[in-house]
Amino acid sequence: MNLYSITFYLFGFLAGIAALALTFSKNVFYSAVYLMICLLSLAAIYVLAFAEFVAVTQILVYAGGIMVVIVFGIMLTAKLGTKPLEVTHANILSGLILTIPLFILLCFFITQENFETFTKNPIEQNPKAIERIGINLMTEYVLAFEVAGILLLITLIGAAVIASHKIKEV
């Protein structure tokens, strides 16, 4: 096993552990930190798979933008008392009943797939690929970016409104 394989499996293991910790964490802030670790580990896997554009997008959009909104939402909606905001895990049995068959199905499809290995960087084969992706994102798919930005702004405003809830005097 070479260094590349060891690094790939290390980041895969880290992403899996962070996902499990995220699933079973009761503290909302720690869950956000585990989500950040999982997203950054996936970005590292993308870099190892020669998908640098996807890795940078993963870091900017998910690990950067969405995590900032999640952390601000947690900070704004957390109770000011001494007890932190915690999540209780209900319906664990129904979650397992749904998750186990889906996991088996995922493993089946992964084992049936023929994964090709690249000997050369795909960007070197087609140097204009990232330029075309950028032009398409900013022309054809710009509406999706705008809607996502507005949705994140509405979420942040909603968290601020919930946090500033005042008791009305009668």
Residue 68 lies in a domain: yes
pLDDT (mean) for 44-48:
93
Question: Residue 86: beta bridge partners?
Answer: 27
Judge whether residue 168 has pLDDT over 90: no
The pTM for the full model equals 0.62
27 sits in the region (left: phi over 0; alpha: psi -120 to 50; else beta) called beta
Give the model's pLDDT for residue 122. 63
What proportions of the chain, in percent to the nearest 5, are helix, strand and coil? 75, 0, 25
Residue 151 lies in a domain: yes
pLDDT digits (tens, 9 = 90+) for 74-106: 776 665 556 666 667 778 788 889 989 999 999
pLDDT (mean) for 147-169:
76
Residue 170 lies in a domain: no
Given a contact cutoff of 8 angstroms between Cβ atoms, the answer to whether 85 and 169 are in contact is no
pLDDT digits (tens, 9 = 90+) for 124-144: 667 787 788 888 888 898 898
Residue 84 lies in a domain: yes
Contacts of the segment 30-39: beta carbons below 8 A, 24+ positions apart: 31/87, 32/67, 32/70, 32/71, 32/74, 35/67, 35/70, 36/63, 36/67, 39/63, 39/67
Residue 169 lies in a domain: no
Residue 8 lies in a domain: yes
How far from chain centre, in Å, is Cα 23?
13
Residue 156 lies in a domain: yes
Q: How confident is the model at residue 170 (pLDDT cuts 50, 70, 90)?
A: low
Euclidean distance between CA atoms 150 and 144, whole angstroms: 10
Q: From residue 139, give the alpha-carbon distance in Å to each of 62, 66, 130.
A: 21, 23, 14
Range of the domain at 111: 3-163
Which CATH number is 140's domain given?
1.20.120.1200
Q: What does the mean pLDDT of the chain come to? A: 81
Q: How many domains does the chain have?
A: 1
Considering only residues 151 and 92, tell me which one the structure prediction assigns the higher pLDDT. 151
Residue 116 lies in a domain: yes
pLDDT (mean) for 24-40:
85
